[in-house]
Structure 1
């Protein structure tokens, strides 16, 4: 037996809300001709709450009370309200249990911290619409245990498990706060990063190529300076440009205006932009990865290779300078006609040439200030952009708790 209920909007549109606050505004759409017979598409019906049995509601309550294992706060899900509904044995139980279940599921799926509170985070959320929520709810009340249904939403990356182990061992609130903050960041990421992907951890100053869970290549990186921080984003690597031109961003055009080694280009409207040709002094070095994104952030080589010897490497305008970027690009081009010899010959030629990878490779630029080790200990990285305190404050915000009645 099912009962249709209207649930709070936040439970039904968390992904959309996150995108709305994080996304770069899209250009205005082109006005389309008015159709003779316009079609109106109905909005999805709200989630339908199944009749919760008392035992299932008790399983949900137990999960909420133990949710601290995930670095979340049980109080955000108002366990007392659910407990009262269980004890009352009245018709409110299904509505209260469904609302609690979806709130917990939402935070496991996307993390508790949303929107601008994520701070400079533009990685796309997974799609999880009302139909997905309905399917999860139906599974939970139709045989699968409530706990298993909820756990199916959690990140499966080994780092998430390692951080949970470290959270159990953490003795002080400072360490616990760091771990909880980074557990939530893992929940912000897509569950499937891809069989083969590149991940850049900005606080660790590292670039890594991972395939089937194994790190094939790891390089040092130079990230954005404090005044020009590197944003967190995801993109797709489709190729590499050897001996690239550098298109100077308008934000720093004044720094190069009139300097030797730059070419000015005037547009039809009279605006001037600057380009730097390939060569020993080119800021992009010998290679730039093709990974289009609205923030114009790329992985590339550099002519300032001495910076890789420093422990703290926050010096760029936002892009990720990659150690031995030519070698890293050659690794990404494995499986194509671009052998290491061909790559080296192309670089030596000085000609600007683009080589495409065999299969597009996802890349994630992320911000993790702690990592778990196999022994359950923590590896710490400097919170270079001072983001952790703000994220932790949002994680601890009780304003999102369920209503008390």
Structure 2
């Protein structure tokens, strides 16, 4: 019943937020109960590994009894806090290399806030800005009970990463966690499959980005990247043409390719997933590497374990597994489009739900955690607060 109530209130907030009347009317006044609720959320911000926002000006307005200034200051604080919940608090330098598009519209926060005030739904307004994914909830719960400061820092960094994603990833999508060497398929809001993956070496890391899976190519040709041509293939073709041919390498029209076959670096399938990094999910002939715990061996692409099972699962409703197997056996290069393009997020999380009610801390193979400042909470020392760019008395982040 509680979740139903939240859903109803959320709908009311959204309806008000986008109504023409709401857009034209002045912002509602803040009652003492509204201000009290706001202060509760400000005080609770560290529970989400977010800094405390000073309320000095609001307190002065309250002491002076200036209703107009009270509403103005409360609104300013509420929008700042909501934006931190929705978008995070990291600088652009801390976000460097994070190429997943955030589609959440922060410009609508003001209208949503007005709707929440009018409907008595401030709690719902703020709760709606948190990442909706269950993994964020698990991290948040773990952050609250974790005593080890180093682990708390890692958990905080990963909570921040979740805020860089769209608040809701939708009901159907694929999420690759490069730090965990796994890919997850979600359908209808439920996790429907997990596959091991191999990601880029530390010298050629897999980038963080989002795209859409449009289809599957069975028995693919490999268009060999220039970097790999320079590294090995080009010299092999020039110096030992017969060996190069036996491995399927072909040079024609000014480009190097590899024919479909048992030696093809892409294996028996490759996803159609346009992106500016030329990074793809694909099969591999080297299956033994999937038994390794740390699977960082590629030039950046995402080699997928049980690749034909993965492809057949994506193609459910379009082709049966038997049809997929027959096409593979034919050795004919065949593209099959998904019934509907599927969002794909290639992300990087070093603190994850361990499936046992706890949190696993993973190796930061690409050294990306150190880019994100440890977020201040109530237990940090003055020296730590200063190092984080925070006010040493209030803990507030200095922007």
Coarse TM-score class (shorter-chain normalised): 0.7 to 0.9
Tell me how far apart the structure 1 counterparts of residues 398 and 228 of structure 2 sit (CA, whole Å): 49
1:357 alignment partner in structure 2: 338
2:209 alignment partner in structure 1: 233
Question: Match of 2:176, SS?
Answer: strand
Structure 1: gaps of 5 or more residues: 1-44, 267-271
2:264 alignment partner in structure 1: 282
1:335 aligns with 2:317: yes
Tell me how far apart the structure 1 counterparts of residues 226 and 209 of structure 2 sit (CA, whole Å): 21
Mark the CA change 1:150 to 1:290 in structure 2 (over 3 Å): closer, same or farther.
same
Mark the CA change 1:46 to 1:377 in structure 2 (over 3 Å): closer, same or farther.
farther
Worse-superposed segment, 105-114 or 303-312: 105-114
CA contact (8 A) 1:61 1:83 kept: no
CA contact (8 A) 2:171 2:190 kept: no
Question: Match of 1:379, SS?
Answer: strand
**What's the offset of the Cα at 1:92?**
2.8
Worse-superposed segment, 236-245 or 153-162: 153-162
CA contact (8 A) 1:286 1:302 kept: yes
Count of aligned residue pairs for this structure pair: 351
Tell me how far apart the structure 1 counterparts of residues 303 and 264 of structure 2 sit (CA, whole Å): 13
1:257 aligns with 2:239: no
Tell me how far apart the structure 1 counterparts of residues 228 and 26 of structure 2 sit (CA, whole Å): 53
Tell me how far apart the structure 1 counterparts of residues 106 and 179 of structure 2 sit (CA, whole Å): 33
1:193 alignment partner in structure 2: 169
Q: 1:242 aligns with which of 218, 243, 247?
A: 218
Q: 1:123 aligns with which of 97, 100, 106?
A: 100
Tell me how far apart the structure 2 counterparts of residues 403 and 84 of structure 1 sit (CA, whole Å): 20
Deviations 1:267-295 (A, max 9, x none): xxxxx432222122211111001111112
- Give RMSD over aligned pairs: 2.5
1:30 alignment partner in structure 2: none
Mark the CA change 1:215 to 1:141 in structure 2 (over 3 Å): closer, same or farther.
closer
2:77 alignment partner in structure 1: 100
**What's the offset of the Cα at 1:46?**
12
Deviations 1:110-136 (A, max 9, x none): 122253422321111023152x12221
Deviations 1:336-355 (A, max 9, x none): 1x221221121122111101
Tell me how far apart the structure 2 counterparts of residues 325 and 48 of structure 1 sit (CA, whole Å): 56
Q: 1:224 aligns with which of 200, 211, 225?
A: 200
CA contact (8 A) 1:47 1:134 kept: no
Tell me how far apart the structure 2 counterparts of residues 221 and 249 of structure 1 sit (CA, whole Å): 20
2:20 alignment partner in structure 1: none
More helix by share: 2
- 1:176-191 equivalence runs, <5 A: 176-191=152-167
Q: 2:279 aligns with which of 297, 302, 305?
A: 297
Deviations 1:157-197 (A, max 9, x none): 11111111111210111111111111111111122322221
Q: 1:307 aligns with which of 284, 289, 299?
A: 289
**What's the offset of the Cα at 1:226?**
0.4
Tell me how far apart the structure 2 counterparts of residues 55 and 355 of structure 1 sit (CA, whole Å): 58
Question: Match of 1:216, SS?
Answer: strand
CA contact (8 A) 2:139 2:353 kept: yes
Q: 1:58 aligns with which of 19, 30, 36?
A: 36
Tell me how far apart the structure 2 counterparts of residues 341 and 332 of structure 1 sit (CA, whole Å): 14
User: Given the two structures, how large is their TM-score scaled by the length of structure 1?
Assistant: 0.80
1:392 alignment partner in structure 2: 373
Tell me how far apart the structure 2 counterparts of residues 157 and 183 of structure 1 sit (CA, whole Å): 11
Tell me how far apart the structure 2 counterparts of residues 119 and 68 of structure 1 sit (CA, whole Å): 24
Question: Match of 1:392, SS?
Answer: coil
CA contact (8 A) 1:244 1:287 kept: yes
Mark the CA change 1:225 to 1:85 in structure 2 (over 3 Å): closer, same or farther.
farther
Mark the CA change 1:347 to 1:385 in structure 2 (over 3 Å): closer, same or farther.
same
**What's the offset of the Cα at 1:298?**
1.1
CA contact (8 A) 1:198 1:362 kept: yes
User: Given the two structures, how large is their TM-score scaled by the length of structure 2?
Assistant: 0.81
**What's the offset of the Cα at 1:393?**
4.6
CA contact (8 A) 2:250 2:258 kept: yes
Q: 2:49 aligns with which of 56, 60, 71?
A: 71
Tell me how far apart the structure 1 counterparts of residues 291 and 121 of structure 2 sit (CA, whole Å): 52
CA contact (8 A) 1:198 1:210 kept: yes
Question: Match of 1:118, SS?
Answer: coil
